[in-house]
Amino acid sequence: MERNEKRVDISTLKDFDLSPSWDTQKEHKFSSNKTSDKTKRKKEYPSKSRGRATMRESKNSEFFYSVLPLQDIIREIKQKIKETSITYSLKEIADVIAQKTDRLAVKIVCKSKSKNLWQSKNTKRIYDEKDEAIHELLNLTKNKIIVSVLNSEELPKGKFNYVLQCPRTQKLLPPTNFHDFKQIVEHHLLESEIRTSTDAYVNKLIKISDKDQIDCWSKEVIKRYSYKLVNDSEPELYTLEKIKSLVEEKIETYFLKFNQIVVGAKEFDNLPSSINREINIFLKNNKIWRKDFFISCIIFFKKSPFYTFKKGEFLYVRYNARKSAKEMNANKLVNKIIMLISEKKNINKRTIVELLKTEEITTKEIFVEIKWLAKTGYINEYSNGTLDLN
């Protein structure tokens, strides 16, 4: 390791405040309370089921939720720890990540093994019902998978006591007993980009009995269509109902199927509104998920080359394993630094500079040696500037 390596300030981590405070006299409060091993384990490793237990009590929810740190944020923090050689408490890291929702991800697990979530390969939207996923797919305005082909045109024949009106477009539609009523309505939904089921839409249609409006509608040409799949190797014409069946048969061509999925906060808008609403409520009640979230952070940092260790009641993480300074051959300045750290509990960098700085020894030289000692694992340099031996 090069000892003249430039200092990297962890405060450069985007939107984070994890930088060490070199000028503070504040010390780490390493607990000396005597507690049983069983009590300590209970404090540091709470039951992973706690976050889920509350969701199980919600009879209306079909899902379990747990909160995780966003992978990109963990990678960024790991990189900064590696660059700075600062030792952080895992609680400190977990608290900083949890400060902002956009640093979080939520794991969604279906309670029932037969239940699935469907994610569009095209739009990345997630659906909790297969029928809704197919309906949305057929109604895409970009990257359409179907095109309509005009089959016939004719004026309505017969006498009609009423017609129906679309509440959104105000377009007049035939009465329910009209031939091909369902197909005409489904094409209107497709054409007008109205995202709802046919039955639900029909129930919302407005009944019009006014003779003038009925006459007006009877003079409009009724158009009937067939449909074909855009990427079909042998394009054939089908009814919209048949198209839906074909898409359902090949659904995994268009969608990814999950029983559980992890979604970052920035992708919450891709979720169904009902799930999004449940997640927002869940996140606000952080007492439910903070302990499990802390455990997730521990797991992410227990992988090499990061090293976690316990001091008092707290867990810490550093880059590279700890080493003993007893067998180290070092120069005079390093030996003086080691001696000061061993003699003065929780001494900080400022104090070491005050004690060792002379005309021959500069502040920069002291900082470089401390950085080297921390980087190679002989000492821990904590985020508040205090130092101790490994």
Q: Which of 16-30, 45-59, 342-356 has the highest mean pLDDT?
A: 342-356
Kindly state whether residue 309 falls inside one of the protein's structural domains: yes
Number of H helices, E strands in the chain: 15, 16
Is residue 14 scored above 60 in pLDDT? no
Boundary of a domain, candidates 270, 297, 319:
319
Q: Which of 16-25, 40-49, 122-131, 303-312 has the highest mean pLDDT?
A: 122-131
* 133, amino acid identity: A
285 and 359 inside one domain: no
340 and 367 inside one domain: yes
For residue range 239-278, what is the model confidence (pLDDT) as tens digits? 888 888 888 998 999 999 999 999 999 999 999 999 999 9
Kindly state whether residue 181 falls inside one of the protein's structural domains: yes
Kindly state whether residue 58 falls inside one of the protein's structural domains: yes
- The pLDDT, as a whole number, for residue 135 is 85
Kindly state whether residue 117 falls inside one of the protein's structural domains: no
46 and 74 inside one domain: yes
Of the pLDDT bands very low, low, confident and very high (cuts 50, 70, 90), residue 48 is: very low
Query: Quick one: tokens of 348?
Result: 């900080």
92 and 137 inside one domain: no
314 and 366 inside one domain: no
240 and 173 inside one domain: yes
> Could you tell me the pTM of the whole model?
0.74
83 and 166 inside one domain: no
Kindly state whether residue 22 falls inside one of the protein's structural domains: no
For residue range 176-218, what is the model confidence (pLDDT) as tens digits? 999 999 999 999 998 888 888 889 999 999 999 999 999 999 9
182 and 235 inside one domain: yes
134 and 39 inside one domain: no
Kindly state whether residue 155 falls inside one of the protein's structural domains: yes
Is residue 8 scored above 60 in pLDDT? no
Residue with tokens 């998920």: 289
- The pLDDT, as a whole number, for residue 235 is 67
Q: What percent of the chain has pLDDT over 90?
A: 61
Domain count, the chain: 3
d(CA 295, CA 290): 9
- The pLDDT, as a whole number, for residue 231 is 77
Q: What is the mean pLDDT of residues 283-295?
A: 93
301 and 383 inside one domain: no
d(CA 98, CA 288): 13
What CATH number does residue 361 fall under? 1.10.10.10
* Residue 40 CB partners (closer than 8 Å, separation 6+): 313
DSSP states of 136-153: HHHT-SSS-SEEEEEEEE
Boundary of a domain, candidates 269, 291, 319:
319
236 and 290 inside one domain: no
Kindly state whether residue 134 falls inside one of the protein's structural domains: yes
Kindly state whether residue 56 falls inside one of the protein's structural domains: yes
Residue 237: domain span: 130-252
